Amino acid sequence: MPAVRVGIYTRVSTDLQAHQDEGSLDTQEARLRAALLARAGDHEVVRVFREEGQSGKSLDRPALQQMLDAVRRRELDLIIVTRIDRLSRSLLDFYEVHRLFEEHEVRFVSLNETFDTSSAVGRAMLKLVLVFAELEREQTAERTRLAMRARAERGLWNGGRPPLGYDGESGGHLAVNSEEAKVVRLIFAKYPEIRSTPKLAKWLNESGYRQKRYVSRRRGQTGGKPFTSAAVLGILKNRVYLGEVSHHGDRFEGQHEAIVAPDAFAQAATIIEANTRNRGKAPARTNYDYLLTGLVRCTCGSSLTTSAGKSRNGTVYHYYRCVGMNKKLDHVCPVKMVNAENLERRVVRIVREAARSPQIVEAALAEANAMANTRLAPVQEQVDQLKRDLQRASDEAEQLLSLILTQGLGQSATAKRKLEEAERRHSQLRTTLGTAEGELIRLQSQQLDMPVVVEALQGFDAVFNILSVDEKRDLLNLLVQQITVFEDRVEVRLHEGHAATAYLVENETVNQAAEHETPGVDPGFVTVSKWLPSPKPGQTSPSPG
């Protein structure tokens, strides 16, 4: 008779390595090998799966996944552990693992609980033990939370990476790192001058400063990254620099030395609050209808996103802001932002003129219908496939029900679970099919009729003014391919290579004299739009001279 192929699984988590009774990975493995020698029959250890520094809260563990793959390949007959919670602390997770064991006829043995799953009693005991293991984990977590609060009340650091300016010592104490403390004090001294965390982060990086460097047990020397706006803000708001420790919103006097004076910390907090309040008073973006969302791009290559701001006198401005400015502190952009009202007014003027050209409208409709057809095909295919899947699921459910009735399995828990799974899948398919059919109808409705659109666009002004915001966006998207904002002009590309441009000037007197213009940080559009010649095939529109 061939030997039983055994897989040994051992695990320790970072907070258990020195304290649990089974001790280290080597100790666990020695106990398991000794237990195998005492079992009847011939057992051969073919794989040892060692898991160091991994929590048992989830199944996302490298060695565990290797073991499960070996089970699927039918390379193992028996899995053995010292305790049930070495494999999993979650009842639901272990139930899934155990189903995999049963499916591939793999037995499971745990030494401390003295059972294996080859017997009905062992399987029943297994579920009971897992319940108590979950209870024990919750109680341990509760004890940990209470211990952490007790440490905070005593003024001790509760672990984790020490903040910039401090080094961690044994017993939860923090010691001042004199060189890093200088950087922290510099940040608090410089912030009232700069009054902006993104700009302060940029200044720190350009000055050669970096975030804290530290040694990780797993990765060695790490950290030392450039400052970000979020990192600077975290330092400015961290009360540990006042000699305090916090726990779930409560503050306690710490045993470590303060780095920052209370006045400097309070001054930074006041500026942060003022900046937050000013941003909070700016209108929500939904209060302004940004008509060009998704169409407008910056000459630097980035998209322009919606933004809003308020001047010191309370005037509200709405902008399209270069996304590159948000992503990189050192991003170079000649445009930065552009006044939304001015930009939209000039784009609509260009589109109004384009709507009078049958050639442009015809090209736009052809493009829109082609795009709709492109999107329509995969959705139609998805609907057809879902209908086939739904029919197959219905047939399988009927066959399962027939089998249960003919075999007298009506009271079987397994049969009930199978029926519930079949019904759940059938319901999910119906829901997904309904969504797909709705999308199909929406795409089919996007097919446009040329005579109807041309007739509507002949009265562009009357039509545009009564449209909803979404309908206005749809109309602009119909005629416009892309809008590019340059430092001194905006270019609107339409279909079939047609393009128009409107110029920007920096003359403040002209800008203020322009009718209905809203002054902002950027110059306004004051000239009438100018049509550009259509390029030859394969060429781009020429730039205005």
CATH number reported for the structural domain that contains residue 79 in this entry: 3.40.50.1390
Query: Do residues 84 and 134 lie in contact, with contact meaning Cβ atoms separated by under 8 Å?
Result: no
Q: Which of 222, 247, 281 is the last residue of a domain?
A: 281
Residue type, position 314, single letter: G
Query: Is 311 assigned a catalytic role?
Result: no
Domain of 266 in residue numbering reads as 166-281
**Could you tell me if 51 and 92 lie in one domain?**
yes
**Out of 13, 229, 357, 394, which one is annotated catalytic?**
13
User: What is the rounded distance in angstroms from the CA atom of residue 357 to the CA atom of residue 361?
Assistant: 6
- Max distance between CA atoms of the chain, in angstroms, equals 100
**Could you tell me if 118 and 27 lie in one domain?**
yes
**63, part of any domain:** yes
Mapping DSSP to helix (H, G, I), strand (E, B) and coil, where does residue 305 land?
strand
Of 34-48, 113-127, 305-319, 507-521, the range with the lowest mean pLDDT is 507-521
Sign of torsion, CA 188 192 198 203? negative
Alpha-helical (H) ranges within 207-339 are: 229-237, 262-281, 323-327
Q: The domain spanning residue 220 has which CATH number?
A: 3.90.1750.20
**Could you tell me if 11 and 108 lie in one domain?**
yes
**Could you tell me if 9 and 141 lie in one domain?**
yes
**Could you tell me if 135 and 27 lie in one domain?**
yes
φ and ψ of 322, to 5 deg: -65, 125
Query: Do residues 325 and 331 lie in contact, with contact meaning Cβ atoms separated by under 8 Å?
Result: yes
Q: Mean pLDDT over residues 185-214, rounded?
A: 90
**418, part of any domain:** yes
Which range, 52-66, 316-330, 353-367, has the best average confidence (pLDDT)?
Answer: 52-66
User: What is the rounded distance in angstroms from the CA atom of residue 422 to the CA atom of residue 136?
Assistant: 35
pLDDT tens per residue, range 147-196: 778 888 888 887 778 899 998 887 778 999 999 999 999 999 999 998 88
Q: pLDDT confidence of 285, banded at 50, 70, 90?
A: very low
pLDDT tens per residue, range 350-403: 877 777 776 666 666 666 566 556 666 787 888 888 888 888 887 777 777 677
Query: Do residues 235 and 164 lie in contact, with contact meaning Cβ atoms separated by under 8 Å?
Result: yes
Token code pair at residue 143: 């004890």
Residue type, position 173, single letter: H
- Give this prediction's pTM: 0.38
Token code pair at residue 133: 């293991």
Domains in the chain, number? 3
